[in-house]
Chains A and B, each alone.
Chain A
């Protein structure tokens, strides 16, 4: 996997980050879907990660799970940094 760039701390070692879950399709997901169902798109996965051994920011990460490329990283709470 290519390095993750924390929007707050910059590129950091992968070990510092903890993956939590992938997100279901956004369309009318109910609580059950959100809890249990996952989108399996080999080209794009939208995920929640935490920079647990760093600034502890929660991140929304878009990756290509077939190549390991990180496509986008945003703060999960919508902060701009």
Chain B
């Protein structure tokens, strides 16, 4: 009879009330992260209603930016954002990938970890400090040395035409390249470390040199993660504000020359938003924010998906 009674009281299946409450509270906080994202989209959308209705898609293709006559076009800013970020990645990807290979494949673990920490510090430096350093060291250097050199020797290319000022696309790209290197390195390094040891050993056993095994076997194996790191850096560059604002020259027009002053989406918001008066002017800046949001969210989402795909594939070596 005692056994029957025990079956009738299934104690183990009842969840205590405290647990249910705790679960829902934690759930609510987790949901608030989603809510924040939705709120962000909603606010950007609502606050940019006026220019969206007035200009439509032409907002994206117009090159006029004149707050006085209330004409707003985003193209010079989109162009500047894309050009500075792209040139930055041309510099930071080879440097970052090379360093990641060194840190993951060649350096002994202890040294690799110490150096990786230093590189993380590079990522921790605030953007405005990069701007400060750039304004007082990089810009004069670009104006007096690097840009005249490019202008003298490659001036026949439209990219390097014109008088070098120092405050231009190229200076912004240089700062951005330094700022994105840590992102390229840290994720690439992790993807390289996630490549199974057997891959390397098989290549070496076949007589490949260390470099051949790395470049022809390990890097292709980790390519998705490396590509993810590049996209992550790119997203960072697209949205970078302070450092770019301080060196890009702040000229809302399109120039083919990298030695000409330009503008970026983030920079124009930073410069003009707190002083934007009227109704449509701030709204146009919010719409620029919406454009930047869309750009970075696509690039970031691609990056995250690629990184997820690689890091869940291999087995960690270190």
Partners in one complex: no
> Hey, which bits of chain B sit against chain A, CB under 8 A?
none
